């Protein structure tokens, strides 16, 4: 493990006139960005072949042929359903003067390069190329601000929000790119995916740098790491939270999933790292990382430790011990799992030069994080909480957090998403039943799957000792399930509605419909006498 050397946060940058990066539906192309020579954009990136001149001025880059502009560069990224190679001619018809493809030069017989005066560049990996040239087109923005990359199965969103609170206490405006939204300084765009494509990330980072935003907190998903969305970016700090089963529909094995997460530290330039060594994968990262490092723990010896923690309905408290001193932390965040998130964020701020007393202030005033143990207003003598927990480990964490201050029963409403990792359904069923006083198994986002089949998978995890009607109930319709849970609640109980958290929609076979767990719960409570 490397010795720690603190450096001051980077300074802000000059401001130029640019368009608002956010719009309804898509990111806007920004004015004021100078054209870049194609030779400069591709410099340093390995190619398999080039046909045509590299002495071209490129005005824009896209991986969607329909959005290609005059003097544009089209990157033919292989998709999940269609290969971008099929749309090269379409991009040319829209004005592309160059394109990048994984196809060999010899395989471009259907493209008349000379007639169209178009340059073809062949590469091994279009996704890596997109990230590389996107970074150079937008003046390598990840080197112009302090980029914090947070990866792990659970806790990414919360950790970014905690970091934002710490920097707010310093009167610093930050950017956040993650599961809930992309934005900064009050400008927000709903997040369609946790980690955007590399071109979008670089565009957003450029805008932040030009607006004198000095740091950005980026959730780095395992999908994005596998798909090279952060390839070649410079991270001031990389943070690892934990690893538990998820996304095996994509990664297939836990080993593949683990290696994807470790890829943040292995395959990118990460100047400093923070890693939770109570998790075995976090320990692996700590042992392999060669830059400045802070390890975190609750249960063992580490650089940063939370000691003597106490949990209550109003929040948490603990002693934060660091190489730079100790302090008493009080926070509104609930549960042991959030203490891990708190010490990860605190460590990331410490290693990036924020003083311990300033971190203490930031942790004290954390706002409610949407959909993360979020309390729904209730005056009926019981509590109602919504949470994004959608893995067995996350579900166990939030239920145990609730147990610490709930005198009555915990009534859990949960389901599992369709078209996603089926292997975790059984485990989630077992956790919900074992950790709750009563459980209601229902739909989450079924997508194209038959909801009943999803529920059948969940029921396989229900212990044979549990009885339907006494210990749990199956209600396919999520709205009815929430209403039923509210009706069952008594004085001192807590209704825990999990899986969707901040989401205000449900994805069903016919598409996306409006659905907000909080709204349904509030409606059900209004119906009560």
* pTM reported for the whole predicted model: 0.90
Query: CA 83 → CA 63, 78, 101, 197, distances in Å?
Result: 11, 4, 10, 16
CA-based Rg of the chain, rounded to a whole angstrom?
24
Q: Which domains does the chain have, with CATH numbers?
A: 36-135 (3.40.1390.10), 139-364 (3.40.1190.10), 374-526 (3.90.190.20)
Residue 485 region by backbone torsions, left for phi larger than 0, else alpha for psi between -120 and 50, else beta: alpha
If you search the block for the tokens 């042992």, which residue do you land on? 287
Quick one: which H or E segment has residue 320? strand 315-322
The residues with which 411 forms a beta bridge, in sequence order, are 438, 495
Residue 3 to residue 10: CA distance in whole angstroms: 21
Q: Give the residue among 160, 188, 164, 267 at the shortest CA–CA distance from 224.
A: 267
- pLDDT at res. 111: 77
CA atoms within 13 A of residue 420's CA, in its CB half-sphere: 18
Q: In what order do the strands lie in the sheet with 60-62?
A: 49-51, 119-122, 96-101, 72-75, 60-62
Give the mean pLDDT per block of 10 residues along the chain (529 residues).
Answer: 41 29 37 85 96 95 94 90 83 94 86 80 96 97 98 97 95 95 83 93 95 96 94 97 88 92 94 98 96 96 97 92 96 94 98 96 91 95 96 96 95 96 95 97 97 97 94 98 98 98 95 97 95
Cβ(525)–Cβ(378) below 8 Å: yes
Cβ-count burial of 278 within 10 angstroms (0-12 exposed, 13-18 middle, 19+ buried)? middle
């Amino acid at each position: 493990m490397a010795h720690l050397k603190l450096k001051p946060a980077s300074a802000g940058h000059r401001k130029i006139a640019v368009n608002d990066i956010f719009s309804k539906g898509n990111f806007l192309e920004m004015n004021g960005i100078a054209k870049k020579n194609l030779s400069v954009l591709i410099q340093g990136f390995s190619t398999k072949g080039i046909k045509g001149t590299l002495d071209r001025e490129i005005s824009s880059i896209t991986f969607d042929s329909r959005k290609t502009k005059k003097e544009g560069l089209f990157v033919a990224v292989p998709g999940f359903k269609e290969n971008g190679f099929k749309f090269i001619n379409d991009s040319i018809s829209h004005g592309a003067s160059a394109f990048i493809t994984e196809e060999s030069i010899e395989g471009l017989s259907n493209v008349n390069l000379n007639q169209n005066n178009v340059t073809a560049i062949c590469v091994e990996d279009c996704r890596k190329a997109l990230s590389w040239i996107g970074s150079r087109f937008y003046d390598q923005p990840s080197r112009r601000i302090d980029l914090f990359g947070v990866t792990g199965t659970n806790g990414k969103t919360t950790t970014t929000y905690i970091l934002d609170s710490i920097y707010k206490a310093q009167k610093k405006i930050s950017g956040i790119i993650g599961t809930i939204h992309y934005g900064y300084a009050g400008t927000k765009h709903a997040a369609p995916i946790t980690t955007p494509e590399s071109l979008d990330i670089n565009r957003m980072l450029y805008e932040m740098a030009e607006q004198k935003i000095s740091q950005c907190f980026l959730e780095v998903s395992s999908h994005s790491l596998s798909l090279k969305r952060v390839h070649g970016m410079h991270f001031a700090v990389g943070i690892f939270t934990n690893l538990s089963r998820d996304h095996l529909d994509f990664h297939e094995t836990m080993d593949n999933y683990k290696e994807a997460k470790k890829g943040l530290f292995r395959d990118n330039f990460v100047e400093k790292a923070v890693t939770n060594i109570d998790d075995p994968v976090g320990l692996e990262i700590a042992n392999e990382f060669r830059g400045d490092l802070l390890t975190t723990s609750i249960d063992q010896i580490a650089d940063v430790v939370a000691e003597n923690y106490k949990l209550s309905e109003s929040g948490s408290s603990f002693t934060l011990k660091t190489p730079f001193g100790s302090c008493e932390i009080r926070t509104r965040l609930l549960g042991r799992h959030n203490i891990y998130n708190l010490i990860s964020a605190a460590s990331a701020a410490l290693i990036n030069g924020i003083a311990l007393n300033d971190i203490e202030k930031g942790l004290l005033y954390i706002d409610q994080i949407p959909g993360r143990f979020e309390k729904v207003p209730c005056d009926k003598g019981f509590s109602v909480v919504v949470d994004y927990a959608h893995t067995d480990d996350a579900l166990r964490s939030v239920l145990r957090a609730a147990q610490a201050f709930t005198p009555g029963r915990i009534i859990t409403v949960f389901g599992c998403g369709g078209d996603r990792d089926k292997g975790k359904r059984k485990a989630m069923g077992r956790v919900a039943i074992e950790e709750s006083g009563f459980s209601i198994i229902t739909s989450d986002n079924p997508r194209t799957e038959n909801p009943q089949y999803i529920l059948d998978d969940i029921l396989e995890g229900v212990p044979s000792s549990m009885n339907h009607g006494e210990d749990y109930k199956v209600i396919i319709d999520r709205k009815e399930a929430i209403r039923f849970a509210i009706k069952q609640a008594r004085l001192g109980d807590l209704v825990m509605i999990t899986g969707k958290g901040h989401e205000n929609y449900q994805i069903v076979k016919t598409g996306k419909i409006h659905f907000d767990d909080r709204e349904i719960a509030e409606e059900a409570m209004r119906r009560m006498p």
